[in-house]
Chains A and B, each alone.
Chain A
């Protein structure tokens, strides 16, 4: 059992306050969706929790299984079991996917996988996400299409098997088939459906915080909770039906509320 607990989180970029008191708890076995207008601070929340140096936490706490994530370096947070699939994955010139993933797996698991085991695991993981094997020798994210980058993020999710995953618009820019493939990957991570590797967690062992603009991914990756994000905080919470309502009615009601708050 794991719990990510965000309490009254305030975050600034420079001297501009962007998050204004976020409260959110994600437990293993749960999937939470965050929906909200552009610029409302969803990515800021994701980056701040992961520890991106650009974002300054001015107050509040973030705990993973009771441990204070905010006191940890970026890599310590990842090793503690946090994963962030980025809205815009970074191109890292000269570092091949294979080399990158092997280093990441080594860091997360605390020991280098045997070369042969790693090759097998990588191959299976790529196959499950319909990623061409040639990508292993390409530089990380360099020249990848938008959809390829997103699939590569989910490959990492499946290989690294964190406790809690924050997925920032992993569904944006995906075609119909890619959306299905990526959703299946997320569901394998959630412990639903078959797993390609032997390192998979038992069902209900992992938590997901899914940031999205669209309900179409929520048809594959069914959320237990939906949060509406506006003006740097959570302004409404509900079940899956809330997503449908948002899709039909938009955010107007909430942005007005956030502005007057």
Chain B
């Protein structure tokens, strides 16, 4: 636990659009050491043929503008510059990008749903999405990943002054999918960002949500829920970079693991730079290990370079179901399986309540149910 030998801030210094600027990872690097590279199917070294295979389907709110653009669109890559090999590979390989714009002073009347459906894990696919929320605009966005794919992508959330963006990203892939993704939110003055990540399916999912601030008053909540089954590797790497004063962030990720070889990785990096006085941040990760053979790696890192924070803290805990909880429920006649189900439900319940879209709440609840019934 604690800081690595190298300060956090230097770990995240490198960024480039060029794949050649990042050596092929060997697995010894700090940012790759938890990821089983052999299961990336070549996403990290470009060895897999590219034939696409992820179909993007957008159901937009009427107030929202959706475009499919080419690589040369000047708006792309402004909010985010790739920070590792796979991200740069995705950036230099995608053919079409989706640009979603919420015009200024507009509140979208319903969620915009983007479904990304993979048609097979035999070839690599790359994607790019830019969501631009103009000043004082408000929108809810759903990213729904389904099917099977070997997919790497970058998502830019550009949330302008006074704007609000709420995103739900569901990784509900088939069992053989591989997905490596960066979600970067750039927040303007007084912008609000709410991210809710749900990762359930896929052989390997590595999702890196990050946040940066360009002016004071930015407010980010990053919430995540994952359920790792036998043989799955689900990795979430959070980075919140506080570089301007008086911004807020909260990271809450919770996961349950069951089955042999179930592996969860959670990295929570928060940097509070010297200029970022008045920062208020807290990050939490909890893992519920339901069976033997499952493993959770949880690494919160908080680097504080200013003496003037409003609040900064982190917590991480991984453990078994609490025998006392189960005993109490069983002592009231509730059978063990049902007691276990109630407690696990309870573990996730307060998180699920935060999902902005009621239909998705239902879907996530029933997905958790289905996991428990396995």
Query: Which residue numbers of A lie inside 8 Å of B, CB to CB?
Result: 50-54, 73-75, 77-79, 83-84, 86, 89-90, 92-95, 99-100, 103-104, 107-108, 139-140, 156, 160
Contact = CB atoms under 8 A, between A and B. Distances in A.
A107 B334 contact: yes
B327 A107 contact: no
A75 B339 contact: yes
Which of B324, B325, B334, B338 has the most chain A CB atoms closer than 10 A to its own CB?
Answer: B334
A78 B335 CA distance: 10
B324 A107 contact: no
A93 B339 contact: no
B113 interface: no
Contacts of B34: none
Contacts of B5: none
A94 B333 contact: no
Q: Sort A-B residue pairs by CB-CB distance and give the 4 closest, nearest first.
A: A94-B346, A74-B330, A104-B332, A78-B333
Contacts of B323: 53-54
B333 A95 contact: no
A47 B141 CA distance: 51
Contacts of B324: 90
A84 B329 CA distance: 11
Contact of B330 (A73, A83, A95): A73
A160 B334 CA distance: 12
Interface in B331-367: 331-336, 338-339, 342-343, 345-350
Nearest to A81: B333
A9 B102 CA distance: 72
Contacts of A75: 330-336, 339
Given A73-B336, A93-B347, A99 B342 contact: yes
Contacts of B345: 94-95
Contacts of B330: 51, 73-75, 78
Contact of A94 (B327, B334, B349): B349
Contact of B333 (A53, A54, A89, A160): A160
Contact of A103 (B338, B347, B350): B338
Which of A75, A79, A84, A92 has the most chain B CB atoms closer than 10 A to its own CB?
Answer: A75
Contacts of B348: 94
Nearest to A75: B330
Contact of A84 (B325, B331, B342): B331
7 contacts: A74-B331, A92-B325, A93-B325, A94-B347, A103-B338, A107-B333, A139-B346
Nearest to B342: A95
A106 to B, nearest CB: 8
Contacts of B336: 73, 75
B329 A92 contact: yes
A136 to B, nearest CB: 15
A47 to B, nearest CB: 9
B328 interface: yes
Contact of A79 (B333, B342, B343): B333
A141 to B, nearest CB: 8
Contacts of A95: 329, 342-343, 345-346, 349
Contacts of B333: 75, 78-79, 104, 107-108, 160
A107 B343 contact: no
Nearest to A141: B328
Nearest to A88: B324
